[in-house]
Amino acid sequence: MQTITLLGATGSIGSSTLDVLARHPQRYRLHALTAHESHDKLLALCLEHRPERAVLGSEAGARWLADALREAGCDVEVSWGEAALCEVAAEADTVVAAIVGAAGLQPTLAAVRAGRRVLLANKEALVMSGALFMAEVERCGAVLLPLDSEHNAIFQCLPREHRGGLGRHGITRLLLTASGGPFREFDAAALARVTPEQACAHPNWSMGRKISVDSATLMNKGLELIEACWLFDARPEQIEVVVHPQSVIHSMAAYSDGSVLAQLGNPDMRTPIAHALAWPERIDAGVEALDLFAVARLDFQPPDMQRFPCLRLAREAISAGGTAPAILNAANEVAVEAFLAGRIGFTEIAALVARALEEIESVSADGLETIMAHDRSARRMVQALIDEGAAVTVE
């Protein structure tokens, strides 16, 4: 019986994870469920799944939840805040890191430092602190398994031992597939006018609002490129992004003998979640078998960096190294939030990220303090530009 802490239980990854866990009650027991603000949703999940602990973002939320659980006769220990998140992350055998954004960094690191098995969905944590994060995984003997569908696919296509550089294992390239998002065929003028609702209606995947916007700008693919560099010891130039609108091939690894290994499946996050939960075994994920005759064809195109500059910015940030990826990530989080709130246009997201990368000089990312300081500077700078209503355009 493995105990599980699910960080970000009320989100899209959270709900897919609970679906898989509920199919295997004999293998997994829930230690803790966490959420930020949605205390009513967390109440419903606690009543249904009966974890030992629940954590919310605020004291008021936690009080409300504790009262409601007591009234329902449900015995769950409720706490709140970052320290409690770090505590529950260190306590279970397996931690599913599915908080969105930089807020997930400290609790995910707490799981790593406790030497847990860490199933990583929260790509922003790794993007911000890659070198430090991977050094901690090594030092603390944590087992890091990717939940992001592309990275999970690549993991499945690599030999079991793949650290120490791709070349050592005969791997020449990683092919990261991208759906292209809902605006794949929009021209620049149409892109400038798209709404948050359009951006959140992804053709193949149903996801949280932030990652849906990232997917539409291709920043998600940029963050994933950085994520892949750290997870697989790859150089940025060893990773090629391939637009594949059907989202059936989840990514590929190319070998020196000409072989290309791919992982295919229906676009359903329960597959990578079940894979990582059970690894190295296999369990049922509740996902329908892939019907290749219904899929019929697979298309591939190169990404358009002119219309989707976020992918180029992310590549530049990881090539520059140091705190540049943390600056990119923080600027993007603030810009996406402003876009979702209707305060800026879609194409301004990339322009704001570019400004932050130009104006804040990247330094060596040797400690968490330095990384967090650059995260804060980028947030302040981008927020000020948005508040000033400064007209920003993409060059």
Q: Which is nearer to Mg ion, 15 or 79 (CB)?
A: 15
Interface stretch with ligand NAD, choices 11-19, 228-236, 360-368, 381-389 (CB under 6 A)? 11-19
For residues 255, 260, 261, 264, the Cα torsion angle rounded to the nearest 10 degrees is 150
Question: 4, 18, 20, 35: which one contacts ligand NAD (CB under 6 A)?
Answer: 35
CA distance 42 to 8: 10
- Per CB under 5 A, contacts with Mg ion among 120-179 are 148-150
Question: 21, 54, 84, 103: which one contacts ligand NAD (CB under 6 A)?
Answer: 103
Q: How far is the CB of 221 from Mg ion (least distance, A)?
A: 8
Beta bridge partners of 77: 53
Residue 346 contacts residue 216 (beta carbons within 8 Å): yes
Binding-site partner at residue 5 among Mg ion, ligand NAD, none, CB < 5 to 8 Å by type: none
> Does 64 interact with ligand NAD (rule: CB under 6 A)?
no
Output the six-digit token pair for 19: 């679906």
Q: How far is the CB of 126 from Mg ion (least distance, A)?
A: 13
Output the six-digit token pair for 235: 């150089």
In 3D, which of 16, 285, 231 has the Cα closest to residue 118?
Answer: 231
The end-to-end CA distance of the chain, in Å, is: 55
Question: 87, 91, 148, 233: which one contacts ligand NAD (CB under 6 A)?
Answer: 148
Q: Which is nearer to Mg ion, 94 or 122 (CB)?
A: 122
Q: How far is the CB of 300 from ligand NAD (least distance, A)?
A: 21
Q: How far is the CB of 84 from ligand NAD (least distance, A)?
A: 10
- Per CB under 6 A, contacts with ligand NAD among 209-228 are 210-211
Interface stretch with ligand NAD, choices 61-69, 181-189, 203-211, 363-371 (CB under 6 A)? 203-211
| Per-residue contact string for residues 298-327; x = within reach of ligand NAD by CB under 6 A | ------------------------------
| Helix (H/G/I), strand (E/B), else coil: 78 | strand
Question: 19, 23, 27, 38: which one contacts ligand NAD (CB under 6 A)?
Answer: 38
> Does 109 interact with ligand NAD (rule: CB under 6 A)?
no
Total count of residues recorded for the chain: 395
Chain residue at closest Cβ approach to Mg ion = 148
Helix (H) / strand (E) element for 292: namely helix 292-295
CB neighbour list of residue 125: distance below 8 Å, 6 or more residues apart: 97, 102, 104, 105, 108, 109, 133
CB neighbour list of residue 279: distance below 8 Å, 6 or more residues apart: 145
DSSP-assigned letters across all residues of 21-57:
HHT-TTTEEEEEEE-SS-HHHHHHHHHHH--SEEEES
> Does 122 interact with ligand NAD (rule: CB under 6 A)?
yes
Q: Which residues bind ligand NAD (CB under 6 A)?
A: 8-14, 35-36, 38, 57, 98-100, 103, 121-124, 148, 205, 207-208, 210-211, 269
